[in-house]
A = this chain, B = another copy of it.
Amino acid sequence: MTIYDIAEKAGVSASTVSRVVNNKPGIKPETRRKIEALLEQYDYTPNETARGLVKRSSKMIGILIADIRYAHYMDIAFYVEQELSRSGYTCLILNTGITEEGKVNAIRRLAQRQIDGLMLVGSTFQCEAVEQALAQNFPDIPIAMANGYLPLPNVKGVLVDEYNGVMECIKLMQKKNHHKIAFIIPNTTPSNLQKQAGFLQAVREGKAPECADWVYLAPTSLEEGYRVTRQILSEHPDVEGLMFCEDEAAVSGIRALTDAGIQVPEQVQVIGIDNTRYCEICNPKLTALDNMMLEMSMETSRILMESLNGGTSPSKIMLFSRIIERETT
Protein backbone atom coordinates (compact mmCIF):
# COMPACT_ATOMS: atom_id res chain seq x y z
CA MET A 1 0.00 0.00 0.00
CA THR A 2 1.69 3.16 -1.16
CA ILE A 3 0.64 6.74 -1.08
CA TYR A 4 -0.20 6.45 -4.77
CA ASP A 5 -2.58 3.57 -4.24
CA ILE A 6 -4.43 5.55 -1.64
CA ALA A 7 -4.43 8.63 -3.86
CA GLU A 8 -5.98 6.70 -6.70
CA LYS A 9 -8.69 5.22 -4.54
CA ALA A 10 -9.48 8.64 -3.13
CA GLY A 11 -9.40 10.30 -6.52
CA VAL A 12 -6.77 12.82 -5.44
CA SER A 13 -3.07 13.27 -6.01
CA ALA A 14 -0.31 11.71 -3.98
CA SER A 15 0.71 15.09 -2.62
CA THR A 16 -2.66 15.50 -1.00
CA VAL A 17 -2.42 12.11 0.65
CA SER A 18 1.06 12.94 1.84
CA ARG A 19 -0.21 16.11 3.41
CA VAL A 20 -2.95 14.26 5.19
CA VAL A 21 -0.55 11.60 6.44
CA ASN A 22 1.71 14.28 7.82
CA ASN A 23 -1.08 16.37 9.22
CA LYS A 24 -0.18 19.38 7.16
CA PRO A 25 -2.64 22.27 6.90
CA GLY A 26 -4.44 23.41 3.77
CA ILE A 27 -6.59 20.36 3.13
CA LYS A 28 -10.35 20.65 3.01
CA PRO A 29 -11.74 18.90 6.11
CA GLU A 30 -13.96 16.76 3.98
CA THR A 31 -11.11 15.56 1.78
CA ARG A 32 -9.03 14.91 4.84
CA ARG A 33 -11.69 12.74 6.40
CA LYS A 34 -12.15 10.75 3.25
CA ILE A 35 -8.44 10.07 2.94
CA GLU A 36 -8.07 9.27 6.60
CA ALA A 37 -10.78 6.67 6.26
CA LEU A 38 -8.93 5.06 3.36
CA LEU A 39 -5.66 5.15 5.26
CA GLU A 40 -7.30 3.37 8.12
CA GLN A 41 -9.10 0.90 5.94
CA TYR A 42 -6.04 -0.22 4.04
CA ASP A 43 -3.80 -0.07 7.09
CA TYR A 44 -1.36 2.25 5.39
CA THR A 45 2.02 2.86 7.00
CA PRO A 46 4.51 5.18 5.36
CA ASN A 47 7.61 3.64 3.88
CA GLU A 48 10.32 4.97 6.13
CA THR A 49 12.99 4.22 3.56
CA ALA A 50 11.47 6.49 0.96
CA ARG A 51 10.68 9.07 3.54
CA GLY A 52 14.21 8.94 4.86
CA LEU A 53 15.60 9.52 1.41
CA VAL A 54 13.93 12.84 0.87
CA LYS A 55 13.93 13.99 4.47
CA ARG A 56 17.57 13.01 4.83
CA SER A 57 16.78 11.52 8.16
CA SER A 58 15.80 8.03 9.02
CA LYS A 59 14.41 8.12 12.51
CA MET A 60 17.16 5.72 13.36
CA ILE A 61 19.74 6.05 16.09
CA GLY A 62 22.99 4.14 16.09
CA ILE A 63 24.19 2.64 19.32
CA LEU A 64 27.75 1.47 19.53
CA ILE A 65 28.72 -0.86 22.33
CA ALA A 66 31.96 -2.74 22.66
CA ASP A 67 30.20 -5.87 23.87
CA ILE A 68 26.59 -5.89 24.84
CA ARG A 69 27.05 -9.00 26.91
CA TYR A 70 28.72 -7.07 29.62
CA ALA A 71 25.77 -6.78 31.99
CA HIS A 72 26.47 -3.22 32.65
CA TYR A 73 26.23 -2.00 29.10
CA MET A 74 23.17 -4.04 28.47
CA ASP A 75 21.18 -1.99 30.92
CA ILE A 76 22.14 1.13 29.08
CA ALA A 77 21.17 -0.38 25.75
CA PHE A 78 17.85 -1.44 27.15
CA TYR A 79 17.04 1.88 28.69
CA VAL A 80 18.06 3.90 25.71
CA GLU A 81 16.14 1.73 23.31
CA GLN A 82 13.02 2.13 25.42
CA GLU A 83 13.39 5.84 25.74
CA LEU A 84 14.12 6.55 22.10
CA SER A 85 11.53 4.20 20.70
CA ARG A 86 8.95 6.15 22.63
CA SER A 87 9.80 9.08 20.36
CA GLY A 88 9.57 7.00 17.25
CA TYR A 89 13.24 6.23 16.83
CA THR A 90 14.53 2.81 16.03
CA CYS A 91 17.86 1.70 17.37
CA LEU A 92 20.65 0.12 15.41
CA ILE A 93 22.76 -1.66 17.96
CA LEU A 94 26.23 -2.69 16.90
CA ASN A 95 28.78 -4.57 18.93
CA THR A 96 32.09 -3.12 17.92
CA GLY A 97 34.48 -5.29 19.83
CA ILE A 98 37.32 -3.64 21.63
CA THR A 99 39.74 -3.10 18.76
CA GLU A 100 40.04 0.31 17.20
CA GLU A 101 39.48 -1.27 13.84
CA GLY A 102 36.19 -2.74 14.96
CA LYS A 103 35.02 0.58 16.26
CA VAL A 104 35.98 2.53 13.17
CA ASN A 105 34.36 -0.11 10.99
CA ALA A 106 31.13 0.12 12.89
CA ILE A 107 31.15 3.87 12.44
CA ARG A 108 31.65 3.52 8.73
CA ARG A 109 28.86 1.01 8.48
CA LEU A 110 26.50 3.35 10.24
CA ALA A 111 27.57 6.20 7.99
CA GLN A 112 25.82 4.48 5.10
CA ARG A 113 22.54 4.67 6.90
CA GLN A 114 21.52 8.27 7.38
CA ILE A 115 21.22 7.85 11.12
CA ASP A 116 19.82 10.84 12.97
CA GLY A 117 21.89 10.44 16.08
CA LEU A 118 24.57 8.32 17.59
CA MET A 119 25.28 6.99 21.03
CA LEU A 120 28.57 5.55 22.17
CA VAL A 121 28.51 3.43 25.27
CA GLY A 122 31.71 2.99 27.22
CA SER A 123 34.90 4.86 27.71
CA THR A 124 36.72 2.76 25.14
CA PHE A 125 35.32 5.08 22.54
CA GLN A 126 37.29 7.89 24.01
CA CYS A 127 40.24 7.61 21.65
CA GLU A 128 41.95 9.29 18.75
CA ALA A 129 40.80 6.84 16.09
CA VAL A 130 37.16 7.14 17.01
CA GLU A 131 37.41 10.89 17.23
CA GLN A 132 38.74 11.06 13.70
CA ALA A 133 36.20 8.63 12.33
CA LEU A 134 33.38 10.59 13.92
CA ALA A 135 34.64 13.91 12.62
CA GLN A 136 34.85 12.46 9.15
CA ASN A 137 31.64 10.47 9.00
CA PHE A 138 29.34 12.33 11.34
CA PRO A 139 30.29 15.98 11.43
CA ASP A 140 26.70 17.08 11.91
CA ILE A 141 24.45 14.68 13.76
CA PRO A 142 24.15 14.77 17.53
CA ILE A 143 26.36 12.30 19.33
CA ALA A 144 26.07 11.35 22.97
CA MET A 145 28.63 9.37 24.89
CA ALA A 146 27.86 7.35 27.98
CA ASN A 147 30.90 7.26 30.21
CA GLY A 148 33.14 9.12 27.85
CA TYR A 149 33.77 12.37 26.11
CA LEU A 150 35.43 13.64 22.97
CA PRO A 151 36.12 17.28 22.16
CA LEU A 152 34.03 17.58 19.00
CA PRO A 153 31.41 20.27 18.55
CA ASN A 154 28.55 17.82 18.13
CA VAL A 155 29.51 15.45 20.93
CA LYS A 156 28.07 15.51 24.42
CA GLY A 157 29.27 13.24 27.16
CA VAL A 158 28.09 11.98 30.50
CA LEU A 159 30.82 11.00 32.91
CA VAL A 160 31.09 9.61 36.40
CA ASP A 161 33.60 10.89 38.85
CA GLU A 162 35.34 7.57 39.26
CA TYR A 163 38.53 9.12 40.47
CA ASN A 164 36.92 10.26 43.70
CA GLY A 165 34.68 7.22 43.79
CA VAL A 166 37.60 4.82 43.95
CA MET A 167 39.39 7.07 46.40
CA GLU A 168 36.42 6.84 48.72
CA CYS A 169 36.42 3.06 48.41
CA ILE A 170 40.04 2.84 49.43
CA LYS A 171 39.43 5.22 52.30
CA LEU A 172 36.52 3.06 53.44
CA MET A 173 38.83 0.08 53.75
CA GLN A 174 41.53 2.16 55.41
CA LYS A 175 39.04 3.41 57.95
CA LYS A 176 38.47 -0.20 58.97
CA ASN A 177 42.20 -0.55 59.34
CA HIS A 178 42.89 -2.43 56.17
CA HIS A 179 45.74 -0.67 54.46
CA LYS A 180 47.47 -3.22 52.26
CA ILE A 181 45.30 -3.05 49.22
CA ALA A 182 45.73 -4.43 45.72
CA PHE A 183 44.09 -2.90 42.69
CA ILE A 184 42.83 -5.01 39.80
CA ILE A 185 42.17 -3.47 36.44
CA PRO A 186 40.67 -5.35 33.48
CA ASN A 187 42.14 -3.14 30.78
CA THR A 188 43.44 0.33 30.29
CA THR A 189 40.46 2.23 29.00
CA PRO A 190 40.45 5.91 29.92
CA SER A 191 37.77 5.20 32.46
CA ASN A 192 39.87 2.56 34.19
CA LEU A 193 42.93 4.75 34.19
CA GLN A 194 40.87 7.33 36.06
CA LYS A 195 40.03 4.72 38.63
CA GLN A 196 43.64 3.73 38.92
CA ALA A 197 44.62 7.33 39.51
CA GLY A 198 42.12 7.48 42.35
CA PHE A 199 43.57 4.32 43.84
CA LEU A 200 47.13 5.60 43.62
CA GLN A 201 46.22 8.88 45.22
CA ALA A 202 44.43 7.26 48.15
CA VAL A 203 47.09 4.68 48.74
CA ARG A 204 49.93 7.17 48.64
CA GLU A 205 48.18 9.31 51.17
CA GLY A 206 47.55 6.25 53.35
CA LYS A 207 49.65 4.11 55.64
CA ALA A 208 50.85 1.56 53.08
CA PRO A 209 52.12 3.60 50.16
CA GLU A 210 54.02 0.59 48.88
CA CYS A 211 50.70 -0.70 47.54
CA ALA A 212 50.98 1.75 44.71
CA ASP A 213 52.83 -1.07 43.00
CA TRP A 214 50.13 -3.62 43.70
CA VAL A 215 48.32 -3.07 40.44
CA TYR A 216 47.21 -6.21 38.59
CA LEU A 217 45.71 -6.81 35.21
CA ALA A 218 42.83 -9.28 34.87
CA PRO A 219 40.34 -9.15 32.00
CA THR A 220 36.69 -9.23 32.93
CA SER A 221 35.84 -12.88 33.58
CA LEU A 222 35.28 -15.27 36.41
CA GLU A 223 38.35 -17.28 35.56
CA GLU A 224 40.64 -14.30 35.52
CA GLY A 225 39.25 -12.94 38.76
CA TYR A 226 40.00 -16.22 40.43
CA ARG A 227 43.42 -16.50 38.92
CA VAL A 228 44.56 -12.99 39.76
CA THR A 229 43.34 -13.30 43.33
CA ARG A 230 45.42 -16.42 43.84
CA GLN A 231 48.35 -14.65 42.27
CA ILE A 232 47.97 -11.70 44.62
CA LEU A 233 47.71 -14.02 47.61
CA SER A 234 50.91 -15.73 46.69
CA GLU A 235 52.82 -12.54 45.96
CA HIS A 236 51.43 -10.59 48.91
CA PRO A 237 50.14 -12.97 51.58
CA ASP A 238 49.64 -9.97 53.83
CA VAL A 239 47.09 -8.33 51.53
CA GLU A 240 44.13 -6.84 53.38
CA GLY A 241 41.94 -5.55 50.62
CA LEU A 242 41.11 -6.06 46.97
CA MET A 243 39.76 -3.26 44.85
CA PHE A 244 38.41 -4.58 41.56
CA CYS A 245 37.39 -2.34 38.66
CA GLU A 246 34.31 -4.38 37.92
CA ASP A 247 32.10 -6.91 39.65
CA GLU A 248 32.59 -10.06 37.68
CA ALA A 249 36.21 -10.57 38.60
CA ALA A 250 35.51 -9.35 42.13
CA VAL A 251 32.87 -11.99 42.61
CA SER A 252 35.21 -14.81 41.75
CA GLY A 253 37.89 -13.09 43.77
CA ILE A 254 35.69 -13.64 46.80
CA ARG A 255 35.41 -17.25 45.86
CA ALA A 256 39.17 -17.57 45.56
CA LEU A 257 39.60 -16.05 49.00
CA THR A 258 37.09 -18.26 50.75
CA ASP A 259 38.44 -21.30 48.91
CA ALA A 260 41.82 -20.40 50.39
CA GLY A 261 40.28 -20.33 53.85
CA ILE A 262 40.47 -16.58 54.17
CA GLN A 263 37.70 -14.74 56.00
CA VAL A 264 35.92 -12.05 54.03
CA PRO A 265 35.74 -9.30 55.11
CA GLU A 266 37.55 -9.93 58.43
CA GLN A 267 40.91 -10.74 56.87
CA VAL A 268 40.54 -9.37 53.38
CA GLN A 269 37.97 -6.85 52.23
CA VAL A 270 36.71 -6.80 48.66
CA ILE A 271 35.09 -4.03 46.68
CA GLY A 272 33.85 -4.17 43.11
CA ILE A 273 32.68 -1.51 40.73
CA ASP A 274 29.43 -1.26 38.75
CA ASN A 275 27.08 -2.62 41.36
CA THR A 276 25.61 -5.21 39.01
CA ARG A 277 23.28 -7.96 40.03
CA TYR A 278 26.27 -10.20 40.63
CA CYS A 279 26.83 -8.31 43.87
CA GLU A 280 23.70 -9.70 45.43
CA ILE A 281 24.26 -13.19 44.17
CA CYS A 282 27.66 -14.01 45.52
CA ASN A 283 28.24 -14.96 49.11
CA PRO A 284 29.11 -12.86 51.04
CA LYS A 285 27.41 -10.12 49.08
CA LEU A 286 29.80 -7.78 47.37
CA THR A 287 30.27 -4.18 48.43
CA ALA A 288 30.52 -2.13 45.27
CA LEU A 289 30.95 1.33 43.94
CA ASP A 290 27.75 2.14 42.12
CA ASN A 291 28.77 4.14 39.12
CA MET A 292 25.26 5.29 38.44
CA MET A 293 24.59 3.35 35.29
CA LEU A 294 20.88 3.95 35.39
CA GLU A 295 21.32 7.67 35.91
CA MET A 296 23.91 7.66 33.19
CA SER A 297 21.56 5.92 30.80
CA MET A 298 18.86 8.40 31.60
CA GLU A 299 21.13 11.40 31.25
CA THR A 300 22.69 10.16 28.06
CA SER A 301 19.46 9.41 26.32
CA ARG A 302 18.06 12.66 27.63
CA ILE A 303 20.84 14.78 26.16
CA LEU A 304 20.68 12.83 22.93
CA MET A 305 16.97 13.45 22.64
CA GLU A 306 17.49 17.06 23.51
CA SER A 307 20.08 17.50 20.79
CA LEU A 308 17.86 15.68 18.31
CA ASN A 309 15.12 18.17 19.06
CA GLY A 310 17.48 21.02 18.50
CA GLY A 311 17.80 21.91 22.14
CA THR A 312 21.00 22.70 23.92
CA SER A 313 22.58 21.25 27.00
CA PRO A 314 26.04 21.34 28.52
CA SER A 315 28.48 19.28 26.53
CA LYS A 316 29.78 17.48 29.56
CA ILE A 317 27.81 16.21 32.51
CA MET A 318 29.44 14.79 35.60
CA LEU A 319 27.71 12.32 37.87
CA PHE A 320 28.89 11.23 41.28
CA SER A 321 29.25 7.64 42.25
CA ARG A 322 28.40 6.20 45.62
CA ILE A 323 29.41 3.19 47.60
CA ILE A 324 26.88 0.46 48.31
CA GLU A 325 28.11 -1.31 51.39
CA ARG A 326 27.27 -4.97 51.64
CA GLU A 327 29.03 -7.87 53.27
CA THR A 328 32.58 -7.73 51.97
CA THR A 329 33.73 -4.62 53.80
Nearest-neighbor residue (CB-CB) of A105 within chain B = B85
The answer to whether A78 touches B67 (Cβ under 8 A) is: yes
The answer to whether B58 touches A69 (Cβ under 8 A) is: no
Main secondary structure, interface of A, reads: helix
Number of A residues near B (Cβ < 8 Å) is 48
Asked if A208 is at the interface (CB within 8 A of a chain B CB), the reply is: no
Q: Which of A52-109 contact B (CB under 8 A)?
A: 52-53, 58, 60, 67-69, 71, 74-75, 77-78, 81-82, 85, 90-95, 108-109
| Residues on B with beta carbons closer than 8 Å to the beta carbon of A60 | 92
Residues of A whose CB lies within 8 Å of any CB of B are: 43, 45-50, 52-53, 58, 60, 67-69, 71, 74-75, 77-78, 81-82, 85, 90-95, 108-114, 136, 222, 248, 251-252, 255, 258, 277-278, 280-283
Q: Can you show 5 pairs from A to B with CB atoms below 8 A apart?
A: A48-B113, A68-B81, A74-B74, A85-B109, A92-B92
Given A248-B277, A255-B283, 5 new contacts (CB under 8 A)? A48-B112, A49-B49, A49-B52, A49-B114, A92-B92
